[in-house]
Amino acid sequence: MINVFGESFRKPTLDNATKKYKTSLNTKSEVVSLLDAVKKVPGAYGTNNGVKTYRRFFPSYLNDTLYIVIPLIDESYTIEKINRLDNTYKSYMVPIPQEGDIDP
């Protein structure tokens, strides 16, 4: 993602007890499910000194498998960048349906 978007990202915190990565969904930092991370995508932004800032990813889990949810809601993400992300990491992508079950 760093190569595609040209940005740096803060490394998530590892929970020493579970050996899983934690993230915050605007409450507390904890290990989150894939479903909870996907539900949070529309609200994956906040403000910092009055400037809108976006969450770049959510580490999340389905059973014991790590998934990275990438909220593509930042207006600066051009279709070219999104297509480049798709083409670069296509074999790792899991489509998330609007309704129904997530089928990794």
| Per-domain residue ranges of the chain | 2-92
State pLDDT tens for residues 24-48.
887 788 999 998 998 888 888 888 8
Average pLDDT value over all residues in the chain: 83
Angstrom distance (rounded) from CA 72 to CA 82:
8
The closest alpha carbon to 4, from 86, 100, 69, belongs to: 86
According to the per-residue pLDDT averaged within each range, which of 46-50, 60-64, 92-96 is highest? 60-64
Would you state the pLDDT for residue 21? 94
The β-bridge relationship of strands 58-62 and 65-69 is antiparallel
Q: Tell me if residue 42 falls in helix, strand or coil.
A: helix
Burial of 2 from C-beta contacts in 10 A (0-12 / 13-18 / 19+): exposed
Would you state the pLDDT for residue 44? 87
Would you state the pLDDT for residue 102? 61
